């Protein structure tokens, strides 16, 4: 069975600080990795995704994530956060086979202080 | 493109009552998911449909929860009878199947259920 772990539950940063949110997954086969974001009062939406190729993927709003296969990790990064990045961030994984069940981590709440 | 529609947005019921949620996925999306998101936790998959067939309901509490997707489009999720621990946001999502799981899921706004 696939699982996802997010180690930071609540992160508080000042504007312009750098961000890194951890995500580790567990699955024996080929996976697809996603980061979703949920802004206050809004629905979950895709931030970025990784399937294959270059392990450094870039998403919307200046976010990027790096897939490190040997560490089963897919950490999310942003060099300089803004107040508008305040949201909850979820790492997710789907298997490449079967019915592509989407499994989510527990989420990280990011609060950016102006 | 219209998104995933869910209703109602909020619902408050007493324990042991029944409740139903409705979801209309994005047109053409054959895969439909229902997730339960308890406060402070990530979304947990309750049931996954492909067209009108169930492909995963391993985490659905079948003694009280039921879901259907008639004609492979709209879906309803029902809880009967509700318990206090069912208080959560119920999310519906849809996606285009295939491509080895590479297609993103699109989410609705969710229904916030409070059981008192």
Q: A-chain residues within 8 Å CB-CB of B4?
A: 43
Give A 47-76 residues with CB within 8 A of chain B: 49, 51
Binned at pLDDT 50, 70 and 90, residue B97 comes out as confident
Q: Cα(A51)–Cα(A48) distance, rounded to whole angstroms? A: 10
Q: Give the pLDDT score at A7.
A: 87
What phi, psi does A91 have (nearest 5°)?
-90, 145
Whether the pLDDT of residue B87 is over 90: the answer is yes
The pLDDT score that the predictor gives to residue B76 is 97
Q: What is the pLDDT of residues A87-109, one digit of tens each?
A: 999 999 987 766 777 889 999 99
pLDDT of residue A64: 97
- For chain A, 114 residues long, give each residue's pLDDT as a single digit of tens: 788 999 889 999 999 999 999 999 998 778 889 999 999 988 899 999 998 899 999 999 999 999 999 999 999 999 999 999 999 999 999 877 667 778 899 999 999 999
Select from B35, B33, B43, B45 the least CA-distant residue to B96: B33
pLDDT score at B1: 58
- What percent of chain A has pLDDT above 90? 74
B101, pLDDT greater than 90 = no
Residues of chain B contacting residue A36, judged by C-beta atoms under 8 Å apart: 107
Judged by a CB distance cut-off of 8 A, whether residue A25 touches chain B is no
What distance in Å separates residue A37's CA from the closest CA in chain B? 11
The reply to whether residue B42 touches residue A94, judged by beta carbons under 8 angstroms, is no
Report the pLDDT value the prediction gives residue A1, as an integer from 0 to 100. 73
Question: Could you give the C-alpha distances from A53 to A57, B3, B34, B48, B103, in angstroms and in order?
Answer: 9, 30, 31, 29, 16
Q: Which residues of B touch A30 (CB under 8 A)?
A: 100
Nearest-Cα distance to chain B for A57, in Å, is: 14
Residue A91 in contact with residue A20, Cβ under 8 Å?
no
Residues of A with Cβ-Cβ distance to B102 under 8 angstroms: 32, 49, 51, 94, 96
B100 pLDDT higher than 70:
no
Instruction: State whether residue A60 is helix, strand or coil.
Output: helix
Residue A86, min C-alpha distance to chain B (Å): 16
Are the beta carbons of B56 and A99 separated by less than 8 Å?
Answer: yes
Q: Which residues of B touch A (CB under 8 A)?
A: 3-4, 31, 33, 35, 40-45, 48, 50, 55-56, 91, 93, 95, 97, 100-105, 107-110
């Amino acid at each position: 069975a696939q699982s996802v772990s997010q180690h930071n539950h609540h992160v508080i940063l000042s504007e312009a600080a750098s961000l890194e949110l951890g995500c580790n997954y567990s699955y024996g086969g080929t996976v697809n990795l996603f980061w979703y974001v949920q802004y206050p009062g809004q629905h979950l939406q895709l931030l970025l995704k990784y399937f294959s190729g270059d392990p450094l993927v870039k998403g919307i709003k200046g976010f990027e994530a790096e897939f490190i296969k040997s560490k089963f990790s897919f950490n999310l990064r942003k060099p300089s956060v803004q107040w508008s990045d305040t949201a909850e961030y979820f790492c997710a994984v789907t298997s490449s086979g079967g019915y592509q069940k989407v499994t989510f981590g527990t989420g990280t709440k990011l609060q950016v202080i102006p | 493109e219209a998104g995933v529609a869910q209703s109602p947005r909020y619902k408050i019921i007493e324990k042991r009552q029944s409740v139903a949620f409705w979801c209309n996925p994005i047109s053409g999306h054959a895969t439909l998911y229902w997730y339960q998101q308890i406060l402070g936790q990530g979304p947990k998959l309750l049931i996954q449909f492909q067209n009108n067939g169930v492909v995963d309901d391993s985490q659905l509490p079948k003694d009280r929860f039921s879901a259907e997707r008639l004609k492979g489009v709209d879906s309803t999720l029902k809880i009967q009878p509700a318990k206090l621990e069912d208080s959560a946001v119920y999310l519906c999502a849809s996606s285009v199947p295939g491509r080895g799981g590479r297609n993103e899921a699109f989410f609705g706004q969710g229904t916030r259920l409070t059981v008192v």
